[in-house]
Amino acid sequence: MRKVLVAYASKAGSTGEVAEAISQVLNAKGMTVDVRQIKHVKDLSGYQAFVIGSAIRMGRWLPEATKFLEAHKSELSQSPTAFFTVCLTMAEDNAKNRSEVEGYMQPVRAILEPVSLGLFGGKLDLGKLSFIEGFIMTNLIKARAGDFRNWDAIRAWAGELAPRLII
């Protein structure tokens, strides 16, 4: 049985919920899956595959996710590793937004090229942000509050990902 680590970085929790949904699909496909926040992962031994995810803030992965990839690049490159990203740009899944988010992913993909890349809409819950963050998101970035995660797309990607983690 394949043991998979789904590790994620999240600012307000919605990326963790996506990680849980991915793990449920992988479990249903016969894999043993651990879900952990990146900041709690110290050891990668015992895992045969990895799914690493992060929210996007200011056009890039959260710093702890990027640092995790840099610190564990040699270990991750020896096993199938997939990435997923959760961001408000993907609230509307179209070619223009996909291209923009793939651009956000270039620095991460320069560290390690994943076997698969999942791009998903995020969730903006103003109650989980500081006043300043909320002001920036709604007034400067012009983001609208709401849950834009497409659970069917997330589960479909995880289902298609499962065979790629067995390589």
Task: Report the pLDDT value the prediction gives residue 137, as an integer from 0 to 100.
Answer: 63
Please tell me the distance from the alpha carbon of residue 16 to that of residue 13, in angstroms, as a whole number: 5
Among 53-62, 84-93, 131-140, 144-153, which is the least confidently predicted range? 131-140
Give domain limits for the chain. 3-166
Exposed (0-12), middle (13-18) or buried (19+): which is 58, by Cβ within 10 Å? exposed
pLDDT tens column, 111-157: 999 999 999 998 767 667 666 766 666 766 667 777 889 999 999 99
Q: For the CA atoms of 43, 157, 110, 97, what is the dihedral angle to 10 degrees?
A: -140
Reported pTM: 0.89
Residue pLDDT, tens place only, 7-52 = 999 987 889 999 999 999 999 999 999 999 999 999 999 999 999 9
Geometric angle at alpha carbon 123, from 121 and 127, rounded to 5°: 165
Please determine, for residue 104, whether its predicted confidence score (pLDDT) is greater than 70: yes
- pLDDT reading at 85 higher than 80: yes
CATH value of 3-166 in 2.30.42.10, 3.40.50.720, 3.40.50.360, 3.40.470.10 = 3.40.50.360
71-77: average pLDDT: 95
pLDDT at 102 over 90: yes
Predicted pLDDT of residue 167: 67
